[in-house]
Structure 1
Amino acid sequence: MREAVKGLLRSLGYDAVDFDRAEDFLNFDRRGRVDCLIADVQMPGLTGPELHARLVASGETIRTILITAYPDPVVRTRALRAGVKCYLTKPFRDEDLQACIRSALDSDAALNPRQFRDDACCGE
């Protein structure tokens, strides 16, 4: 899945880098130049929500999109309230991820989140 998302992002013209674990991302020397983070909810070590919380606690404002194969409405609600921009359930359409990325990168979307197909992404 990580390779597929990376390939999609690159085909859309984004510079995409992937990591095996959240800790590897935290050690990334160019992390401050990242505009949008796409993380799985369930990863080895830190989970996606834990990674987002750690970034927020350290004062970093990286727009975050979470994806999961195991949707949980409680996790989704907590994540969106914590500032995660989108929460996608696998499998998702390329268009859903593209919409989430556009929303996350759009400064107006941070103030007025929009809904997409079947609540696939974005805040309430």
Structure 2
Amino acid sequence: MNIEHNSKLIAIVDDDQSVQNALQDLIESEGLSAQCFGSAEQFLESREQHRAACLIVDIRMPGMSGLELQAKLKAERCRIPIIFITAHGDAKMRIQAMRDGAVEFLTKPFDNTVLLETVQAALEI
């Protein structure tokens, strides 16, 4: 798959370093820029918050959860497309995330092709 948005930054927010590395490698293999953050707070404190074209966010993290990050961004009228990934999702979380504007809610382990297609769709929003 060749995603044609090489100037767009994909922000990855996950507390698991191995997940960060795998996602960054996958995103960069498609010619996109990716930057990892170990927490929602770290992302919010960065300058990249205003540069990110898409977020890939874990639901469960120490401190602020992915859903709380989504709510904070929404309250600040920040309309970055969000793709949630989780190993611990349930129907209630999925419904809340999608109702609040998430692009997708993927359960780990997920198919890399599905994630890349979802990123491409998010970049076209």
Bin of the TM-score, shorter chain as denominator length? 0.7 to 0.9
User: Which SS does the other structure have where 2:57 is aligned?
Assistant: strand
Q: CA deviation at 1:23?
A: 0.2
Partner amino acid for 1:99?
E
Q: Which runs of 5+ in 1 are unaligned?
A: 108-124
CA distance in 2, matches of 1:60, 1:12: 26
Choose the corresponding residue for 2:85, options 58, 61, 67: 67
Judging by fraction of residues, say which structure has more strand.
Answer: 2
Alignment of 1:78-89 (within 5 A): 78-89=96-107
User: Which SS does the other structure have where 1:59 is aligned?
Assistant: coil
Q: CA deviation at 1:71?
A: 2.1
**Contact 1:22-1:51 within 8 A present in 2 as well:** yes
Work out which structure has the larger RCO, using CA pairs closer than 8 Å and 6 or more positions apart in sequence. Answer: 2
Moved over 2 A (4+): none
CA distance in 2, matches of 1:30, 1:78: 25
Partner amino acid for 1:19?
F
Choose the corresponding residue for 1:30, options 45, 48, 52: 48
Q: Deviations over 1:8-61 (max 9, x none)?
A: 001111110001111000001131111000010001111111101100101111
Q: Which runs of 5+ in 2 are unaligned?
A: 1-18
**Contact 1:40-1:48 within 8 A present in 2 as well:** yes
**Contact 1:86-1:104 within 8 A present in 2 as well:** no
* Residue of structure 1 equivalent to 2:29: 11
2:123 is equivalent to residue 105 of structure 1: yes
- Superposition TM-score, scaled by structure 2 size: 0.83
CA distance in 2, matches of 1:56, 1:87: 17
* Residue of structure 2 equivalent to 1:53: 71
Q: Deviations over 1:66-124 (max 9, x none)?
A: 000012001001100000111000001110101111121123xxxxxxxxxxxxxxxxx
2:107 is equivalent to residue 92 of structure 1: no
2:95 is equivalent to residue 77 of structure 1: yes
Partner amino acid for 1:9?
I
Q: CA RMSD in A?
A: 0.8
Q: Percent identity?
A: 39
